Amino acid sequence: MSLYESARRHALWMLGALAVAILFVAVVERFFGHSSLAFGIAIIGLVAANRQMLSFNCPRCGKNVFFRGIFVVPWPNRVCGRCMLDLTDTSEK
């Protein structure tokens, strides 16, 4: 599996985790009223689910595929922004 495909799967995983976190907070607020604790649990869960993001680095130069300059974006690059390596190709490592 290519680096891009792995990073893409992580992005989709995070989209699902975000949906679960939003639903969790909504359900807690519906049944128990406003709760900062539920929001905190959702945030900690999202941070824990996203811990793998920092491992998606270009095999040639080490640049993370989710970073565009100093900004982090929710979808990975298909081509490395630094060395222009095609990250969809599984043959070159």
Nearest Cα to Cα of residue 45 among 57, 32, 28, 33: 28
Nearest Cα to Cα of residue 91 among 59, 53, 57: 59
Nearest Cα to Cα of residue 52 among 8, 1, 10, 2: 10
1 pLDDT exceeds 70?
Answer: yes
Write down the pTM of the prediction. 0.85
Report the alpha-carbon distance of residue 21 to residue 25 in Å, rounded: 6
* pLDDT tens per residue, range 20-66: 999 999 999 999 988 899 999 999 999 999 999 999 999 999 999 99
pLDDT at 91: 65
Report the alpha-carbon distance of residue 59 to residue 40 in Å, rounded: 35
Nearest Cα to Cα of residue 79 among 16, 33, 23, 61: 61
For residues 92 and 10, the model is more confident at 10
